[in-house]
Structure 1
Amino acid sequence: MKNFQAYLFDMDGTLLANERLKGEALARTCNLYGANASCEQYKQVMGGSWEFVRHYFCEENGITPAEEKFDAEFKEIYQELLLTTVLEPTRGATAFLADLIKQNVKLALVSSASRWMVDTILQKIFGKDAFDVIISKEDVTMHKPDPEAYLKALKRLDTAPKNALVFEDSSVGIQAGLRAGCTVVAIHHEFNIKQDLSQAAFGIHGFDELVQDRE
């Protein structure tokens, strides 16, 4: 694998193996309204915008909560899970990031998640200073597969798309990276087996595969 000037990472399911936890929080929130939701339902919408995911879970489980109330309840449940659960980085992610930091390359986190989710996870796992640029839901008006988030990150990094490598675990994320003009690597895991990730340059199951490749 060639060396790039900048490396841009999605968060949920890419750097962090937390998709099941997020699905569990969504299911628990729905179940507050008498539903019988399962975290497995998240496999159908993983990678989508929060509005799309919320709509799917509510419609699929036959509930009609006020959006702001649902969002607040989800935040409380998910934040508690994030703080009380042992969070596992994707295999090899910590070592790969450390290797890149030593080389002084530019790093960006580009997530569709709300900033409170990003900050909570960074503080607990990777540290607030691990990335030069952080883009979250609040920083954009158009969400993946629109390339706005990646284009904004590239601008802040002062890096041309051809010199940037993107890591994503969803089809919409891969499309966003490609539309921004970047090379994209797919991260495979149990929650995206139904998604078409074939547009990526190649796929991996863990960052340790890249650490070995760089040695």
Structure 2
Amino acid sequence: MINTMIFDFNGTMFFDGGIQKESWGEFLKEEFTCTMTESEFEKHVAGRNNRDTLEYYSGRKISDAELEVLTNKKEQIYCDMCLSRPREFHLVDGLTDFLSVCLKNGIKLNIATASERSNVEFFFKHLNLEKWFDIESVSLNDGTLPGKPAPDMFLRAMENVDSNPYNSAIFEDSVSGIQAANNANAGKVILVKDPDLDVVNMPANLRTDEVIHDYSHVGETLMKRK
């Protein structure tokens, strides 16, 4: 029986793939004078934490202090883009109703995101996430866990709401995120696709139990384990 919903945030609760690509592209051009390819975005950016991405583009290990400086530069570009595009900066269609129905039916909710605390606070402030989530329970990138495709962030998100993989459904949009959900042995794995973006090249060996484009028709089947 599925009694817990665990969400990645970017690209799953908020379709920000376009903004992510633009903000990373602008940042990488300014900081490393390089151009990000679509393949690089899928493999080294989407779903990854900033350290993984920045060390890939720099070609070396970076210190914690440098990571903080570079992350702040990149995230400022991203946040400015979000706020400048109110037509895009909103939760995915049907999600608010789905979250409210989950709470009404005693379903536990949490987020597992590669974003840092500052970004999570930004999303909570501007998208009113406190209606459904406790920010102190969110599993985020605090430097203590390996990034996806390791399952640790999802496992912590479950633990923080007293749940377990068998009873949890994970909502993800990236290859590394789906890999992490598989590695966590989640009861259900749901792939969320942004209809305005190119199809993600998902490896055939990864399990996805359902594919959705919004939350308008997410039904009771998600509460039951196959």
Give the TM-score taking structure 2 as reference length: 0.78
Q: Residues 31-110 of structure 1 correspond to what in structure 2 (within 5 A)?
A: 31-33=29-31, 35=33, 37=35, 42-45=41-44, 46-57=46-57, 67-86=67-86, 87-110=89-112
Work out whether 1:208 is the aligned partner of 2:187. Answer: no
Moved more, 31-40 or 102-111: 31-40
Equivalent-residue separation in structure 1 for 2:72 and 2:143 (angstroms): 20
Shift of 1:12: 0.5
1:63 equivalent in structure 2: none
Which of 3, 21, 24 is 1:23 aligned to?
A: 21
Residue 25 of structure 1 aligns to which amino acid in structure 2?
S
CA deviation after TM superposition for structure 1 residue 191, in Å: 5.2
Counterparts of 2:193 and 2:90, CA distance in 1 = 15
1:154 to 154, 158, 161: 158
AA in 2 matched with 1:24: E
Residue in structure 1 matched with residue 202 of structure 2 by the alignment? 195
User: Alpha carbons of 1:213 and 1:162: their partners in 2 closer, same or farther (altered >3 Å)?
Assistant: closer
Report the CA distance between 1:185 and its aligned residue: 0.7
Whole-Å Cα distance in 2 between the matches of residues 191 and 70 of structure 1? 28
Change in 2 beyond 3 A, CA 1:55/1:23: farther
Q: CA RMSD in A?
A: 2.7
Q: How many residues align?
A: 206
The DSSP-based 3-state class of the residue aligned with 2:14 is coil
Number of the residue aligned with 2:119: 117
Contact 2:108/2:161 (<8 A) preserved: yes
1:186 aligns with 2:191: yes
Unaligned runs of 5+ in 1: 60-65
Could you list the runs of 5+ residues in structure 2 that have no partner in the other structure? 60-65
Q: Distance in 1 between matches of 2:209 and 2:29?
A: 40
Larger mean Cα displacement after TM superposition, 8-17 or 86-95: 86-95
